[in-house]
Amino acid sequence: MPIDLERALGAELPGREFSWTPTDVQLYHLGLGAGGRPTDPAELRYLDDRAPQVLPTFATVAPTLGETEPPRVSFPGIEIDLAKVVHGHQEVVVHKPIPATGKATSTGRIAEIWDKGSSAVVVQEQTVTGSDGELLWTARSSIFAKGEGGFGGERGPSTRAQLPERDADLELVVPTLPQQALLYRLCGDRNPLHSDPAFAAGAGFPAPILHGLCTYGVVCKALTDAVAEADASAVAGFRARFAGVLYPGETLRIRAWRSDGEVVAAVTVDERDGAPVLHDVALRLR
């Protein structure tokens, strides 16, 4: 069914009430590979039993914690086969540090829809408010749906951020675990693309791929550790555009440049001759 642009654009998304505990935060951080230095006090701040610090990227899983069904791409005027969908970009702005325990309500809308000809890009915006009425975070994300274009919409922007024309200020090498996707999916993203070899093959991949949001979180943590002394409360936001896939067990290489109030970066994978994984990466500091 083609996208119904008039019905879909600006449509409100169902609200959601949700909560989380320190155990949920710990599981999320473990899903990103936290704990690899099990005697490092800075590392253990992510895994404290009572008050673990919370990476801003926890916002991407908090509303769906505990879900066990594969997600559906079903919005007003939009019905898309999950196998056609890849994540386009993700941005989280945290208005104050996320607490280790919380209750919140999310509201959302379809903010943008772009017709790329052979594909479609759908942008969602979610606003999350704590039980005390204070704004916690705002998230924007896009999905790229193959074969869903041609519905008569605008093509949309195609600009790409430029990296500084100088050597990187720091370079980080971050291994991932062979079982990382199987662990990360326990945070609520049960898309079989990340766990079922047959489903992955049907989508054109030789093996299950790591969740884009897992890679996103891994990179946020690595940059937080490197430029903010492992202090998650010093991070005001994080964004990235998904440029390629990562297979569990591969090694990320992060080249980063310090700028005014933020760190920009490019992320590639070592095992495939520097194939791109994330573009337009920016960690914003408070």
Active-site residue among 24, 29, 115, 194?
194
Helix segments in 161-242, DSSP class H: 180-184, 197-202, 212-227
- Is 196 a residue of the active site? no
What is the per-residue pLDDT for 59? Answer: 98
- Is 194 a residue of the active site? yes
Active-site residue among 24, 189, 225, 280?
189
Which among 238, 199, 179 is positioned nearest to 85, based on CA atoms?
Answer: 199
Q: Are 226 and 249 in contact (CB under 8 A)?
A: no
d(CA 193, CA 87): 12
CA angle, residues 38, 49, 21, in degrees to nearest 5: 125
Element (H, E) at 120: strand 119-130
d(CA 76, CA 7): 6
Per run of 10 residues, the mean pLDDT along the chain (length 286 residues) is 91 95 98 96 97 98 87 90 88 98 97 95 97 97 94 86 93 97 94 94 94 97 98 98 97 96 97 97 97
Element (H, E) at 271: none
